[in-house]
Amino acid sequence: MAFPEGFLWGGATAANQVEGAWNVDGRGPAMTDVTMGGSVKQTRKITYLDADGNPGYLERHGKLPEGARYAVLPDHYYPNHIGVDEYHRFEEDIALFAEMGFKTYRMSISWSRLYPTGLEAEPNAAGVEHYRRVFQCLRDHNIEPLVAIWHFDTPLYLEEHCSGWLNRETIDHYVRYAETCFREYKGLVRYWLTFNEINNGMPQDNLKNPLPQWRYQEGVQILHYQFVASAKAVQIGHEIDPNNMIGNMICGICYYPGTCDPADIELNRHMWEQKIFYCGDVQCKGEYPSFTRRVWAAHDVDESKLDITEDDLAELKRGTVDMYTFSYYMSQNVTTHTDVEEVGGNMSSGARNPYLTYSDWGWSTDPSGLTYYLEVVNDRYHLPIIITENGLGAFDTVEEDGSIHDPYRIDYFRQHVQAMQRAIDWGVNLIGYTTWGCIDVVSAGTGEMRKRYGFIYVDMDDEGKGTLDRSRKDSFYWYQRCIATDGEDLG
């Protein structure tokens, strides 16, 4: 079958969604630690105390009122505080990954575990040691770590007191942290990602409601600082160990025109440019693409207010990535027509596609879109590719005898593995695949546990009740066979 020798089969998680231990061994808080759980109907809320000490609730991207402070409120539940307790159970979890035959495990380092506020000159030794033990454990099981340096978790202190990524100085704080990672884990980690789904920083209007201009003005500036931070990290990573393979990471959505109306065809191309190629081109080609000014103008971004220097542009040129990596969950229909049903998913939205099925959370299932996406980015960048996330969030039921039958998940993965096989047959240089939430994790979007992605079930509910015990779902054995036969046995 199609998969090349040494193909990196594996699974993926992120520190803030699995580790828990949010205030253990010197770790500082991140935004997820002041974010409550939600659901598909109820957005997650960020909590704070106002200037008079009264509790308050913010939406994502909301601005703190004058004098307010982010706060963990009593009698409120914060699912990321516990995660699935991987901080204390990583040995058990890695043994299960090894049992499935993982060749790689994609995970992230929590920035605030190494630099609790982000401002420290030296890292927190306990945090550094923790990840050394995790990486050593992976190596002991012959599993190659694939490590994201940032997965939506800037230290809360930087966000609250230093304007986060709207402040140029955050570049230096990030670079100091990234350098620590490269130095400390040299020889243990070779595959790195600088930023998870960096393109989620580029806003996207809902079908029927445009976003305010400031969202784009800030989004473009934040992205620029992150591009520079990433480019500097890539250069340092290469200096410290020329064997390092460093990638970007894009939230890969396959956009389709909603109709054959020429206006939809054009809007669809613009969507690919704004959401997929804008970030991909900067990180893979080292320069802003030709359509950049059009993207800015379309959203009234005032160029004269952007802080982009000649030195920055030179950094981008020097710091291009070695591989293209992306998450893939769905395709989306782009249209100028408003008489359609809007569907959401993974921080974006589009019109319902009548040819696809949708999950209980409204995310479309579209394996053909994966083949399409792979061919597009293979042709555009000519880099090795890893799909660093793909999976189905679904409700699971534990039977009386403890078994968990998840044919829907097996079906989803079977179709996506076949889609990868097709792409490889057609010439795509795909070198790895890490399924999302290989063990159940706290959902990033909704904060739920019951939106489960794993091959491994974790006994924990949305209120924090459960033993945290792990058990194998039917899909565990399916993926084990898939890996053992390099994608031949998908039955």
Spatial contact of 43 and 60, defined as CB atoms under 8 Å apart = yes
Q: Which two tokens stand for residue 98?
A: 């090894």
| Residue type at position 296 | W
Q: Which two tokens stand for residue 250?
A: 């894009």
Of 436, 455, 478, 479, which one interacts with ligand BG6 (CB under 6 A)? 436
Give the Cα separation of 38 and 50 in Å (integer): 22
Give the Cα separation of 315 and 320 in Å (integer): 9
Spatial contact of 153 and 174, defined as CB atoms under 8 Å apart = no
Asked if residue 335 binds ligand BG6 (CB under 6 A), the reply is no
Asked if residue 334 binds ligand BG6 (CB under 6 A), the reply is no
Annotation marks residue 342 as catalytic: no
**Count of residues that bind ligand BG6 according to CB under 6 A:** 15
Burial environment of residue 94 by CB neighbours within 10 A (0 to 12, 13 to 18, 19 or more):
buried
Asked if residue 333 binds ligand BG6 (CB under 6 A), the reply is no
Catalytic residue among 19, 86, 159, 197: 197
Asked if residue 251 binds ligand BG6 (CB under 6 A), the reply is yes
Task: Considering the complex, state which of residue 2 and residue 14 has its C-beta at the smaller distance from ligand BG6.
Answer: 14
Asked if residue 389 binds ligand BG6 (CB under 6 A), the reply is yes
User: Which residue in the shown chain puts its C-beta closest to ligand BG6?
Assistant: 445
SS3 457: strand
Spatial contact of 432 and 7, defined as CB atoms under 8 Å apart = yes
Shortest separation between residue 486's beta carbon and ligand BG6, angstroms: 26
Site string for ligand BG6, 11-50 (x = CB under 6 A): ---x--x---------------------------------
Asked if residue 451 binds ligand BG6 (CB under 6 A), the reply is yes
Asked if residue 113 binds ligand BG6 (CB under 6 A), the reply is no
Q: Find residue 472's DSSP bridge partners.
A: 456
Asked if residue 328 binds ligand BG6 (CB under 6 A), the reply is no
Largest CA distance in the chain: 65
Q: Find residue 245's DSSP bridge partners.
A: 191
Asked if residue 202 binds ligand BG6 (CB under 6 A), the reply is no
Annotation marks residue 399 as catalytic: no
Task: Considering the complex, state which of residue 93 and residue 389 has its C-beta at the smaller distance from ligand BG6.
Answer: 389
Phi, psi of 28 (to 5 degrees): -90, 160
Of 393, 432, 454, 487, which one interacts with ligand BG6 (CB under 6 A)? 393
Could you tell me which residues come within 8 angstroms of residue 454 by beta carbon, excluding any fewer than 6 positions away? 437, 438, 439, 440, 441, 473
Asked if residue 424 binds ligand BG6 (CB under 6 A), the reply is no
Of 346, 348, 359, 364, which one interacts with ligand BG6 (CB under 6 A)? 346
Asked if residue 327 binds ligand BG6 (CB under 6 A), the reply is yes
Q: Which two tokens stand for residue 1?
A: 């079958």
User: What own/partner pairs with CB < 8 Å and gap ≥ 24 does 454-458 have?
Assistant: 455/11, 455/100, 455/409, 455/479, 456/93, 456/96, 457/396, 457/398, 457/404, 458/84
Asked if residue 299 binds ligand BG6 (CB under 6 A), the reply is no
Footprint on this chain of ligand BG6 (rule: CB under 6 A)? 14, 17, 196-197, 251, 327, 346, 389, 393, 436, 443-446, 451
Catalytic center residues: 197, 389
